[in-house]
Amino acid sequence: MLSNFKRYERQILLKEIGTEGQEKILKAKVLVVGAGGLGCPVLQYLVAAGVGTIGVVDDDVVCLSNLQRQVLFKEEQLGCNKAKAAKQNLSSLNANCKIAVYNTKLTKKNAFALINPYDIIIGCTDNFESRIIIDTITKQLSKPFIHGSLSEFEGQVTVFNYKNGASYKELFNEPDDHHEFSKGILGAIPGIIGGIQAVECLKIITNTGDILSGKLMIYNGLNASFNTITY
């Protein structure tokens, strides 16, 4: 029996997870690339769920305009590296979670070394280049790549390279138009999309439910709709 049963009791009560699933969560290693609008809710929910080891890759610093949607950070952390600030705040949420900080930009040179130690990679970046890099390495290593993107009142989630499933380059062979910083964004939208990314991650870890592999989920906050496209 888990020594910290009480903390995860509400997850363990789910018949699809139980103690066996929770043990898998505690042993899982997840890399989150980007600690911005999507990365913040992803990190908070995975740490709260008990994911054993989480890596955070981000070389950016917290700025005032981030606080409208990147709710993990605080005013007193303005100017701090996002990965380091994230670890500081997440450690107070769950001290049992090991958080590795990578104060660097993901590049073609360092991507393999960063991605290789982890089971699942969650892409929370806002640019085509980094998504292509993650896609290439996760495909090479046969690791799931949980992709999320944002634009104004909308967000998208899908899972690439899951059990030899479709890759990012097969769906987006040129830059897509979902960029957090190129357009405005309603602050709550990243919370919804990041939350779905976290759900997909926990489903993969526990081998539960249908994974968004070969399916692109699109949420539109203006008309309160979810649409799923098969590709």
Give pLDDT, residue 20: 97
Q: What pLDDT score was predicted for residue 182? A: 57
pLDDT < 70 positions in the chain: 1-3, 175-182
Residue 193 belongs to what H/E stretch? helix 189-206
Ordered DSSP codes for 16-48: TTHHHHHHHHHH-EEEEE--STTHHHHHHHHHH
Q: Reduce the DSSP state of residue 169 to 3 states and report it.
A: helix
Give the span between the Cα atoms of 230 and 109, in whole angstroms: 33
